[in-house]
Amino acid sequence: MGEAIGSVLPMAVGVALSPIPIIAVILMLVTKQARVNGPMFVLGWLIGLAVIGVIVIGILGGVGSGSGDTATWALWLELVLGVLLLVVAARQFGARPHDGETAPTPPWMGAIDAFSPVKALAAGALLSGLNPKNLLLAVGGAASIAASEIPTSQQAIAYLVFALIATIGVALPVVIYFALGDRAPAILDRMKAWMGQHNAVIMTILCLIIGVKLIGQAFGGLTA
């Protein structure tokens, strides 16, 4: 199980370092319902990742079991995911703000002030499960765990570890909010400003590194 967890750690970190969701949860923490909406967003994030894990591991967990084919389909999937991540990296690089420009924020963020706890929960689930970069990395992590030889119960534990690590990014602002009290707003505001301005660069670097890693692993395995 340790090997399975180790193989998906880079992808979990890639999901955790998601600037737009982190900015979204910070914005929720300056609203009147901050004490509820912040934790609800984090819970929704976990639910979104859990749904991906259940679907992917449920479908792929038995593919090629005991026949030696599992490694082959997993390598091909890694190759496809790696290429798609490079496409995402290229798009993010092209959309980066140039010198003197301010990075735009998604229009839906303007409605965060009016979010109910249910909407905060839904936003967390959608941003973890449907964001292209996060979806690719979560599918890749779940598929890698499903391709391992460990029992189903250990696969579930390995994916739980993946999901918890992938949640650190959006959970950190909530922890800061509750732990630091009056000092939290200034810290969160600086975090939001930095991530908003460097979102495209962060996404480009993450997708490029993980995409190349997956492609390299896939080629190495397929040509072995």
Q: What are 115-165's pLDDT values in tens digits?
A: 999 999 999 999 998 888 899 999 989 988 888 878 888 999 999 999 999
Q: Which of 5-19, 35-49, 107-121 has the highest mean pLDDT?
A: 35-49
Task: Measure Cα distances from 22 to 18, 60, 153, 163, 167 in Å.
Answer: 6, 31, 31, 16, 10
**Cα angle, residue 205 at apex, residues 199 and 210 outer, rounded to 5°:** 125
Indicate the burial class of 3 (C-beta count within 10 angstroms; 0-12, 13-18, 19 or more).
Answer: exposed
Break the chain down into helix, strand, coil percent, rounded to 5: 80, 0, 20
Task: Tell me the mean pLDDT in the region 75-82.
Answer: 88
18, 133 contact by CB (below 8 A): yes
pLDDT for 218 beyond 80: yes
By mean pLDDT, which of 41-45, 128-132, 218-222 is the weakest?
A: 218-222
Looking at residues 94-102, what average pLDDT do you find?
70
Amino acid 67: pLDDT? 47
Is 186 a residue whose pLDDT tops 80? yes
User: Stretch 53-68: mean pLDDT, rounded?
Assistant: 70
Whether residue 199 is predicted with pLDDT greater than 80 in this model: the reply is yes
The pLDDT of residue 69 is above 80: no
What are the DSSP E strand ranges found in 62-205?
none
Of the ranges 28-42, 153-167, 187-201, which one carries the lowest mean pLDDT score?
187-201
The total number of structural domains in the chain stands at: 1
Residue 78 is predicted with a pLDDT of 86
Query: Which range has the worst mean pLDDT, 64-73, 75-84, 167-176?
Result: 64-73
Grade residue 102 by pLDDT with cuts at 50, 70 and 90.
low
Would you state the pLDDT for residue 100? 63
Whole-number percent of the chain with pLDDT over 70: 92
pLDDT at residue number 66:
47
Give every CB contact of residue 217 below 8 A, 6+ residues apart in sequence: 75, 78
Range of the domain at 53: 2-222
Average pLDDT of span 69-98? 82
Tokens of 85: 């991540």
Task: Provide φ and ψ at 66, rounded to 5°.
Answer: 75, 5
Q: What is the mean pLDDT of the chain?
A: 87
Can you read off the two tokens belonging to residue 194? 């930095």
Place of tokens 């390299």: 216
